Amino acid sequence: MNRTELSELIHNGENSGVDFKRDDLTPEKLAKVMAAFLNLEGGHVLLGVENDKSVSGLTKDIGKAEEWVMQVAGSNIQPAPIPFWETIDWGNGKIVGIISLPADAPDKPYKVKRGSAWVTQIRVGTTTRDATNEEEARLYMQAGHLQYDRKPVPGSSLDDLDLRRLGNYFRDVRRQACPEAGNRDAWTRLLINTELMYEDRGRAVPSAGGLLLFGLNPKRFLPQSGVSAVAYSGKVKDYGAKARASLRGPVVSLFSSPATGGRHEYPGLTPGFSDNSTAVEAGLIEQSLDFVRRNIEIKGSIDAGGRRQERWDYPLEAVREAIVNAIAHRDYTIAVMDIELSLYEDRLEIISPGRLPNTVTVEKMRAGYRASRNELIKEVLRDYRYVEATGLGVPRKIVEGMLTHNGTEPDLVEEDSRFLVRLWKEPKLA
């Protein structure tokens, strides 16, 4: 937003999408307005503008004001939104803070904290009030129209996406024509049409799925987008871990042919998207697999025909399937928490935040039930051949893979607000 646009908003006054506030209001009052905008069609909260349209400016330091706004959004609104914050110098030492909330926010209804309860807010004209039961029911119905990975991420832009990976995806994976790197308008149109970007209030911004899959730095906008990996020496968590890594970056790798000297080739492991491709710049999936590979053992033996056979502690196909499932199906509305990848002396565990999606059970997963919380992410990973079209990745690669490897049954456990996959290094003693 520029100064002219801000001036027009102020001149037109408060309405169903604009509210004037001082920055000394309580967190509860700010949260009410933000939640109401999210439940309607988005809008702007102008901090430092009076009800009579005069500009008083921020009283807080700009950095502290932004921190306060983000804290209110994260602590006083459920589910926590991602507001876009910017400031404009009004002159005479006065700064206006602008909180922009996206149109068509997908996680309706947004609720504000009131004591021990959470209450849905709606905007009617210039008034913010509690929603009636009927109004709240309609918001719940709207919530099914857009999954988290399709939601716009305010503050991000085309510059936050890796056009190398996107070119790799459209040209080499999907085998379709894609624009030249410098043709921003053509790229924007293509990404909007494929839901990797989203047009929000006249501004094209990446979707959450677009940033997770192809972002240059997804953590900047989505702090829950990484993998926390630890290798322990024993059977329990301790401070003396032998290896730790905070894995960051886009989900997918930048792929090339083996002829270019690509890395990340594993014996017996089918590479992503093409039998002749290798990952020359690892994405989050391949980074996670690399961490496992570095911290488990490979044992060699000679078979009856005199040929050397190598056996990892865990079948890499099963490990990668578990990693892919955690990334594709986790609940990204649970902010800040990364996926946990833990290696112990006797087992490997992968924990993804969030319970299983509605209608999904552990029994259904073992049978090959197909369901997705993040359909856009799943479809792109299917293009890369990380996800099976049949939905049989869990029963074939994880369950059968472990039984074939060492006769153990993997543990698939839903508990509290997380889902755990546990692979055993050796058969359990009777």
Please list the residue range(s) of the chain that carry CATH number 3.30.950.30: 3-143
Reference 342, options 238, 419, 231; nearest CA is 231
Residues in the chain: 430
Confidence band (pLDDT; 50, 70, 90) for 309? confident
pLDDT over threshold 90, residue 264: no
Q: What is the pLDDT of residues 172-188, one digit of tens each?
A: 899 998 899 899 999 99
Confidence band (pLDDT; 50, 70, 90) for 132? confident
C-alpha 12/C-alpha 10 separation (Å) is 5
* pLDDT for the residue numbered 354: 84
Give the tokens for residue 38.
């999210």
Least trusted range by pLDDT, from 194-198, 312-316, 352-356, 421-425: 352-356
Which residues does 53 contact at the CB level (< 8 Å), separation at least 6? Answer: 10, 11, 13, 20
For residue 294, CA distances in Å to 7, 27, 233, 258 come to 57, 47, 14, 21
What percent of the chain is helix, strand and coil (3-state, nearest 5)? 35, 25, 40
pLDDT over threshold 60, residue 110: yes
10-13 CB contacts, 8 Å cutoff, 24+ apart: 10/46, 10/49, 10/53, 10/55, 11/53, 13/53
* pLDDT for the residue numbered 141: 59
Q: What is the pLDDT of residues 10-23, one digit of tens each?
A: 999 999 999 999 99
Mean pLDDT along residues 241-254: 95
For residue 240, CA distances in Å to 237, 243, 366 come to 9, 9, 35
> Cβ(381)–Cβ(372) under 8 Å?
no
Q: What is the pLDDT of residues 206-223, one digit of tens each?
A: 999 999 999 999 999 999
Least trusted range by pLDDT, from 181-195, 213-227, 287-301, 350-364: 350-364
* pLDDT for the residue numbered 332: 86
Radius of gyration in angstroms for the set of CA atoms belonging to the chain, rounded to a whole number? 24
Please list the residue range(s) of the chain that carry CATH number 3.30.565.60: 227-424
> Cβ(96)–Cβ(55) under 8 Å?
yes
Q: Is the dihedral of CA 230, 233, 235, 237 positive or negative?
A: negative
Dihedral through CA 135, CA 136, CA 138, CA 140, nearest 10?
Answer: 170
Instruction: Return the higher-pLDDT residue of 358 and 292.
Output: 292
Mean pLDDT along residues 228-233: 96
Confidence band (pLDDT; 50, 70, 90) for 298? confident
The CATH number of domain 227-424 is 3.30.565.60: yes
Q: Is 227 exposed, middle or buried (0-12, 13-18, 19+ CB in 10 A)?
A: buried
Give the tokens for residue 214.
């192809």
pLDDT over threshold 50, residue 267: no
pLDDT over threshold 60, residue 6: yes
Least trusted range by pLDDT, from 127-141, 160-174, 183-197: 127-141
pLDDT over threshold 80, residue 122: yes
* pLDDT for the residue numbered 268: 43
pLDDT over threshold 50, residue 259: no
> Cβ(6)–Cβ(12) under 8 Å?
no
Least trusted range by pLDDT, from 85-99, 102-116, 141-155, 317-331: 141-155
Residue type, 85: W
* pLDDT for the residue numbered 387: 87
The runs of H, that is alpha helices, within 284-400 are 284-294, 316-329, 362-367, 375-383, 393
Q: Is 325 exposed, middle or buried (0-12, 13-18, 19+ CB in 10 A)?
A: buried
* pLDDT for the residue numbered 266: 44
Reference 46, options 69, 71, 80, 64; nearest CA is 69
The CA angle 232-213-34, to the nearest 5 degrees, is: 100
C-alpha 264/C-alpha 297 separation (Å) is 17
Least trusted range by pLDDT, from 76-80, 147-151, 246-250: 147-151
Reference 401, options 326, 334, 319; nearest CA is 319
Q: Is 26 helix (H, G, I), strand (E, B) or coil?
A: coil
Q: Which CATH architecture has domain 3-143?
A: 2-Layer Sandwich (3.30)
Mean pLDDT along residues 314-331: 93
* pLDDT for the residue numbered 278: 76
> Cβ(205)–Cβ(156) under 8 Å?
yes
C-alpha 398/C-alpha 394 separation (Å) is 5
pLDDT over threshold 60, residue 51: yes
Confidence band (pLDDT; 50, 70, 90) for 146? low
Q: What is the mean pLDDT of the chain?
A: 88
* pLDDT for the residue numbered 261: 43
